[in-house]
Amino acid sequence: MKRTWLKGIALTICLGMAVSFGIACGANGTGANNGHESNSNTETCTHVFTDYQSNGDATCTANGTKTAVCDNGCGAEDTVTDAGSMLQHSFENGVCIGCGEVEYTDGLQFTLDSKKQTYSVTGYTGTDEEVYLPSTYEGLSVTEIGNDAFWGKAITKVVIREGVWRVGKNAFGSCKQLKSITIPSSVTAFLDNAFIYCEALKEVHISDLAAWCQTYSVGNKYANPLSMGHNLYLNGELITELTIPEGVGYIGQCAFENCLSLTKVVIPSGVSSIDWGAFINCSNLQSVTIADDGENLMIGDYAFGSCHALTRIILPGRVWGVENSAFNNCKNLSVFCESESEPSGWTWAWEISGIPVYWYSENEPKHNSEGTDYWLSLKHWRYDEKGEIYVWVFGQQYNPAQ
């Protein structure tokens, strides 16, 4: 109670001084002279913004903003993008009353499933280059884009509405003018060659990162639109530094394949599986951080294959399994395992590329009888007093990245 009372008195005095001497966050105060002369009592404090409130300016085509007033009482304001605040379209008579976007494009062909419960988009005979696919048709849900539905069509942009969950084989194959596609959170599967020969594709847009992490691609590398598009946008912003959202339990097969915009990935404790090829061919990926607590983690085949810019990764003790070629063709990579030796769940070919692998040891390991190498020829490391990597080389500091 006494500490709280003193804290209140101190805050009152501080705010009083701010008024009396013109203290401004981020700059010197000016005292009673209002800035015309220097004052020996000038002080400096720093802006702190924590309580952001929505400005209610989101639309169905863009996120809104949110504003906070400085916690220190100076009156300064900070306005930032309110991520994830974009509104849903509101359609009347096939047109959004907010932005004028059409609900779906003329010329789309629909096929009713055998149970007469849902529709698939199975063809396109229209002439519009920008194509919008609906959530419903004739009162029923649209759930799939059928095999070959848009094969070879001269389209430049595709927007898929919520409700569609699967993109079929060759669905957008050979759409050589396609530049941008928007994928809803409802899509969970891309099938063989769904985007093969889409050489002009540059932008893949999503609005739900957690949902995207749990998509999967079936078949070859041309199933996922990122295999051709390379750049992933979340609510209009290019993703370069990716933090997997809390609550995501796994990263799906080829989810971020060929995502060249990625430079950094942070994987939280709740992720228990990084599936086949999840980050394969992310050749600009430089940093991967895996939380060292939480669920047991399995790293799948080719999960980080051909990540050429990756130089170092620490595999925490919770990594109980690493499958074949998980780091295949990572030419510049060194792997630091918090395990003291290879766990039984790791397949023999997990380090098939011959990358340097280091095992954890608090004490300098034994040398062989000649004193020229580590016992059993294994390389070892530990954390130093600063939490950095210390590699045991006869008691000398060594950074394998240099």
pLDDT for res 108: 96
pLDDT for res 163: 94
Instruction: Judge whether residue 370 has pLDDT over 60.
Output: no
Read off the pLDDT band of 16 (50, 70, 90): very low
In a domain, 396, yes or no: no
Both 212 and 264 in a single domain? no
29 or 175: which carries more pLDDT confidence? 175
pLDDT for res 225: 96
Contact 246, 291 (CB under 8 A): no
Domain that holds residue 296: 240-360
105: CB partners within 8 A, 6+ apart:
124, 126, 128, 130, 131, 132, 133
In a domain, 91, yes or no: yes
Both 235 and 277 in a single domain? no
Read off the pLDDT band of 98 (50, 70, 90): confident
Both 138 and 270 in a single domain? no
Look at the chain and report how many structural domains it folds into: 2
Chain segment 196-210, per-residue pLDDT in tens: 999 999 999 999 999
Q: How far apart are CA 353 and CA 281, in angstroms?
A: 15
Region 66-78 average pLDDT:
90
Which residue, 216, 239, 262, sits at the end of a domain? 239
Cβ neighbours of 140 (radius 10 Å): 14
73 or 201: which carries more pLDDT confidence? 201
Q: How far apart are CA 236 and CA 83, in angstroms?
A: 10
Rg for the chain, CA atoms, rounded: 28
Chain segment 137-157, per-residue pLDDT in tens: 999 999 999 999 999 999 999
26 or 348: which carries more pLDDT confidence? 348
Region 66-79 average pLDDT:
90
Both 91 and 184 in a single domain? yes
In a domain, 74, yes or no: no
pLDDT for res 40: 41
Chain segment 249-305, per-residue pLDDT in tens: 999 999 999 999 999 999 999 999 999 999 999 999 999 999 999 889 999 999 999
Contact 255, 280 (CB under 8 A): no
- Structure-block tokens of residue 129: 């280059």
Mean pLDDT of the chain: 84
Both 231 and 245 in a single domain? no
Helix-strand-coil split of the chain, %, nearest 5? 10, 30, 65
Region 45-49 average pLDDT:
82
Both 216 and 203 in a single domain? yes
365 or 306: which carries more pLDDT confidence? 306
Read off the pLDDT band of 34 (50, 70, 90): very low
Q: How far apart are CA 26 and CA 48, in angstroms?
A: 10
In a domain, 42, yes or no: no
Both 99 and 179 in a single domain? yes
Both 194 and 298 in a single domain? no
Both 115 and 259 in a single domain? no
Q: How far apart are CA 124 and CA 151, in angstroms?
A: 9
Q: Which amino acid is at 141?
A: S
Chain segment 220-234, per-residue pLDDT in tens: 779 999 999 999 999
pLDDT for res 368: 58
Both 174 and 226 in a single domain? yes
In a domain, 20, yes or no: no
Which residue, 185, 205, 239, sits at the end of a domain? 239
Q: Record the pTM.
A: 0.75
DSSP string, 296-329: -EEE-TTTTTT-TT--EEEE-TTEEEE-TTTTTT
Which residue, 239, 264, 294, sits at the end of a domain? 239
Cβ neighbours of 228 (radius 10 Å): 23
In the Cβ-directed half-sphere of 167, how many Cα atoms lie within 13 Å?
A: 36
pLDDT for res 52: 92
In a domain, 184, yes or no: yes
Region 330-353 average pLDDT:
91
Instruction: Judge whether residue 43 has pLDDT over 70.
Output: no
- State the CATH number of the domain containing residue 271: 3.80.10.10
Q: How far apart are CA 399 and CA 395, in angstroms?
A: 13
Distance of CA 66 to CAs 54, 184, 308, Å? 4, 25, 39
pLDDT for res 45: 54
Read off the pLDDT band of 30 (50, 70, 90): very low
Both 232 and 248 in a single domain? no
Instruction: Judge whether residue 19 has pLDDT over 70.
Output: no
pLDDT for res 97: 67
Q: How far apart are CA 294 and CA 53, in angstroms?
A: 33
Both 220 and 266 in a single domain? no
Read off the pLDDT band of 2 (50, 70, 90): very low
In a domain, 57, yes or no: no
Instruction: Work out whether strand 77-82 and strand 53-54 pair parallel, antiparallel, or are unpaired.
Output: unpaired
In a domain, 22, yes or no: no
pLDDT for res 59: 78
Read off the pLDDT band of 5 (50, 70, 90): very low
29 or 282: which carries more pLDDT confidence? 282
